[in-house]
Chain A
Amino acid sequence: MSGEEEENAAELKIGDEFLKAKCLMNCEVARILDHKYDQLQQMSADPTNQISQVFEKSMQYVKRFSNYKNTDAVRQAREVLSRYKLAEFEVWPFFRLKFPRHLVTFNHINVHLQLCVLGNLCPDTVEEAIAIVPSIKSKGRKLEDDAIEKMLHDLSLIKKFE
């Protein structure tokens, strides 16, 4: 990552390494870490060896800040967020040649980033959603307020009927 192009969540600028990575919501991470914890208990005689501080603190954190507890709800939440096709933008080949790679911020990874932040923070209002993820209004295919409202409403329904 070059020095001048600083990473910035508000503008969806992230490092090259993460362009191919997949973003996960806290609730999804909670499930993975739980499973991993069980695996570690079975795998080694002294499981506390493999459980690092980072793992433990992360596990506590995601369990506390998970919005959706059961598997179905998690899947539904991801479906709702993906349905709204946040920041969908087709980068034609010649754009990639013209502009430096780090400026091409609209790609698959960024869609996930936006939806994960929204899934984690669960804003109550459209205003709040725009305040915490400004890029849903400023980048790529902009979402109309109505669409944002409907999406937040669908998310709250999943939580209610969990």
Chain B
Amino acid sequence: MVFMEVDLSWNVIISPEQLDAKGLLLHKAIILRLMDDIASRKASKEHGYYVAVTTLNSVGEGKVRELSGDVLFPVTFTCITLKPIKGDILVGTVDKILKHGIFLKAGPIGSIFLSEKTMRDYKYVGGDNPMFLNDKHANLEKDTMIRFKVLGLKWLESDREFQVLATLAADFLGSL
């Protein structure tokens, strides 16, 4: 999982109340609106998670939208994004342990599932503090940090997030 700095474009809509004669306030309003929009957008299938807007690169000429009186400004900006892809090696923290696998979290990715089928040499032990045991390696329990590989991904449009399928079936993977 590698963070990327990407150049993107967006249309920022400013309502008439914020349109001030002083250019500086308008600029600030555009930046704040842009950051708000990107924060609500959370992520997209093409770019992954939008982490933070770093710079506003250009602001185009504003176009008045006839019905509302709002002004639309096409902008270009640089943003830090994070997109998990197949084959990625990531480190995540154990969130929940169930019989059929482990749910992990890694940064903004909230839904990572590690199936017990990919953990051949681990054994599930239930109880108050469920865990997966292994003779040679450390136990996998809540809050353990695990290095895993991304087996597959799914983009969930409704939640605007990625669902990741993980595996431990390769060398140098497992708990840290």
Contact surface of A with B, Cβ cutoff 8 Å: 1, 6-11, 14-15, 17-18, 20-26, 28-29, 32-33, 36, 43-44, 49-55, 57-58, 60-62, 65, 113, 116-117, 120-121, 123, 127-128, 131-132
Contacts and interface: CB of A to CB of B under 8 A. Distances in A.
B7 interface: yes
Contacts of A53: 42, 108
Nearest to B147: A121
Given A23-B2, A62-B3, 10 more contacts: A23-B3, A24-B4, A32-B54, A54-B42, A54-B49, A57-B108, A58-B80, A121-B91, A121-B147, A131-B172
Interface stretch (B82-90, B95-103, B130-138): B82-90
B67 interface: no
B107 A58 contact: yes
Interface in B54-105: 54, 80-83, 85-89, 91
Q: Across the A-B interface, give the 9 residue pairs with the lowest CB-CB distance, nearest first.
A: A61-B107, A9-B87, A52-B39, A10-B87, A21-B6, A54-B108, A21-B4, A131-B171, A7-B85
Interface residues of B, number: 42
A113 B89 CA distance: 12
Nearest to A61: B107
A115 B50 CA distance: 22
A156 B27 CA distance: 45
A57 to B, nearest CB: 5
Contacts of A127: 171-172
Contacts of A9: 85-89, 150
B165 interface: no
A1 B80 CA distance: 20
Nearest to B31: A43
Given A22-B5, A24-B3, A58 B82 contact: yes
A25 B82 CA distance: 11
A22 B87 contact: no
Q: Which of B40, B81, B85 has the most CB of A within 10 A?
A: B85
Contact of B5 (A15, A21, A132): A21
A19 to B, nearest CB: 10
29 contacts: A6-B86, A8-B86, A8-B87, A9-B150, A17-B46, A21-B6, A22-B4, A24-B4, A24-B5, A28-B3, A29-B51, A29-B80, A32-B52, A36-B54, A43-B28, A50-B39, A52-B38, A54-B50, A54-B51, A55-B52, A57-B107, A57-B108, A58-B107, A61-B108, A62-B3, A62-B107, A120-B2, A127-B171, A131-B171
A29 B3 contact: yes
Interface string B27-43: 01000100110111011
B170 interface: yes
A54 to B, nearest CB: 4
B169 interface: no
Contact of B85 (A8, A29, A50, A58): A8
Interface string B1-32: 11111110000000000000000000010001
B47 interface: yes
B144 to A, nearest CB: 14
Contacts of B32: 43-44, 50
